[in-house]
Structure 1
Amino acid sequence: MIGFLLWIILFILCWPIALLALLLYPIVWLIFLPLRLIGITLDAVFELIRAIVFLPARVLGGRPR
């Protein structure tokens, strides 16, 4: 909601920049989408490595967090 209100204020004060931002937002979103997917994948890989490393401690009865 705040983002929409800020966009309305920008549109009132400087409509060409607001329209440019409105047109470029989907393009920028598509450019950053692969980077977000890489980040999600790396997070999953690090969680898997962490689970494998801590597996012996859990099997031997280590305290859960």
Structure 2
Amino acid sequence: MRITGRLDVQNRSDNSVLFTSVYIGMKLLLWFILLVICWPLALAILLFYPIIWLVLLPFRILGFAVEGVFGFIRALFMLPAKILS
């Protein structure tokens, strides 16, 4: 990717930034639709979303740790194959 004064997101191979921006835009659009349909529920979601995110944060950290352990075990099992090839 070449930087020429502006960030060209379309040239990225994984398109992660483009996908993230579409995902955030979709969430915002759905929230505005919910705000029009049922504004008390939309405001409750807006209020409780950070609290729910904080409650679920330890599980996300635990998931990273478990993924690392499984990656290490996989590397141990694949080590003989890598040495022989």
Determine if the alignment matches structure 1 residue 59 to structure 2 residue 69. no
Of residues 41, 57, 63 in structure 2, which corresponds to 1:39?
A: 63
Whole-angstrom distance in 2 between the partners of 1:55 and 1:46: 14
Q: 5+ unaligned residues in a row in structure 1: which ranges?
A: none
Q: CA RMSD in A?
A: 0.7
Report the structure, 1 or 2, having the larger helix content. 1
Secondary structure at the residue paired with 2:60? helix
Query: Which of 1 and 2 has higher RCO (CA within 8 Å, sep 6+)?
Result: 1
What's the TM-score once normalised by structure 1's chain length? 0.88
Whole-angstrom distance in 1 between the partners of 2:33 and 2:54: 26
What's the TM-score once normalised by structure 2's chain length? 0.68
Q: Which has the larger radius of gyration?
A: 1
Pairs within 5 Å for 1:1-65: 1-61=25-85
Same amino acid, percent of matched pairs: 49
Equivalences, count: 61
